[in-house]
Amino acid sequence: MLRTLRQEDSHIYNLIKREEKRQVDVLEMIPSENYTSKAVMEALGSILTNKYSEGYPKRRYYQGNTIIDEIEQVAQGRAKKLFAVPFVNVQALSGSPANLAVYVALLKPGSDKIMGLSLAFGGHLTHGQPQSATGKFFLSTLYTLGKDGYLDYDAIEKQAIKEKPKIIVAGFTAYARIIDFEKFSKIAEKVGAYLLADISHIAGLVVAGEHPSPTPYADIITTTTHKTLRGPRGALIMVTEKGLKKNPELPKLIDMAIIPGLQGGPHDNQTAAIAVALKEASTLSYKKYASQIVKNAKVLADELKRYNFDLVSGGTDNHLILIDLKNKKVNGAVAAFALEVGGVVLNKNGVPFDRMPPFYPSGIRLGTPAITTRGMKEKDMGKIAYWIDIIIDEVQDMEMSSNKEERTEQWKNYKKNVMNNKKLLVTAKEIQTFCRKFPL
């Protein structure tokens, strides 16, 4: 007799129900998080979990994969159509292994070079940061933003000419402006590099026409499937027509980098859920959703500026906002913790030219994908900005010392004070009531 989760493991069941309530009762504003549809979750929790499918469609090591082949081919076909590309690998388990697979496919460890945006300026660990395997196994050079918080394409070009990377990465985790993929393409062509566009954050905006597509300009495109694309956790690796002209072997090299290079069998339930999400992203309702994400973000940015928040680059063109809190005299770690206590969930984040360490950065990062999924519109952004302001006001002057030992003691005291702040707890109740108007 099959037993339900509640019957089999009530402890895990209750923890999941508690997490469900938490997600319902707060403003979920981490830019890399979203709420999937029930259809996506149904596919993800299906019996496809039971199958092992090492290899690719029509080329499996195990028997019994006829149906799995069809599922993977559907996912590939939908991705090809949505992103207008000739080749897609849907097996990467997430964004980080997807990027690593590209490097494994094209670079020689210890001699070939990656050029990506510095983590301190809004890049990603897998774009060649020294803390990551991508920066340990391969050479890397990191570019930065200009003083205005924008990409400085002239400086990037000069650095590329000097450093001669084999791969230039155009992709970011905390950049709120439009990316000029054509300029990146010209830079890559000038130095003979591959252009890798990592659009993990903006993929949903790209397919909906809310951000220019990298397809005409990049050689390879990677993306996660769980941010603005609103699917399960997973990733896509795509080769463009431009990439095929540069190197017809790219599809074969990437497939081999995934398996046998980095992974074994794919997660078939994940592949099916990605296919469902890609179908959803092809609809008119999804295009309206993506448009609303950007509208909400722009209005929220304007509302935050009314409360004297210092926005990096002065605003946003996409789904996220990066705030420098130095003028508010509060550390980003303290602010993020206080906001969570008050019912607003976002993340601490470094800002350009930040002098604070990564665990206690000077900024916070927030976005609108998840709250837009719940149905919140422009008129609601003023309320959200107001709540953010009153929460930050409660922790003003909670700056962190430059001394490591002093910071440890400060953090303990700040957390205790924040958790017992009555105004924050009242605000959390107000936000809970507000959120109940937008059921998942």
Active site residues: 52, 54, 198, 224, 227, 233
Provide CB contacts within 8 A for 69, sequence distance 6+.
Answer: 57, 58, 60
Instruction: Give the helix ranges, DSSP H, for 282-437.
Output: 284-306, 332-341, 369-373, 378-394, 404-419, 422-435
User: Other C-beta atoms within 10 Å of 200: how many?
Assistant: 27
Which of 135, 122, 109, 126 minimizes the C-alpha distance to 177?
Answer: 122
- CB of 96 within 8 A of CB of 125? yes
- Neighbouring CB atoms inside 10 A of 157's CB total 18
Cα 30 to the center of its chain, rounded Å: 9
- Contact present, 316 and 177 (Cβ < 8 Å): yes
Residue 48: how many other CB atoms lie within 10 Å: 19
- What SS3 class is residue 157? helix
Distance in angstroms (rounded) separating the CA atoms of residues 359 and 213: 33
H or E element: which one contains 25?
helix 10-25
**CA gap 272, 224 in Å, rounded:** 15
Using an 8 Å Cβ cutoff, are 270 and 232 in contact? yes
- From residue 411, give the alpha-carbon distance in Å to each of 323, 334, 335, 341, 416: 21, 8, 12, 15, 9
Q: Cβ contacts of residue 198 below 8 Å, gap of 6+?
A: 95, 99, 124, 127, 169, 170, 171, 172, 221, 222, 223
Q: Do 429 and 393 touch, CB atoms closer than 8 A?
A: no
Neighbours of 39 (CB within 10 A): 13
Two tokens at 264? 């074994």
**HSE-up of 195 (CA within 13 Å, CB side)?**
26
439, amino acid identity: P
**Secondary structure (3-state) at 8:** helix
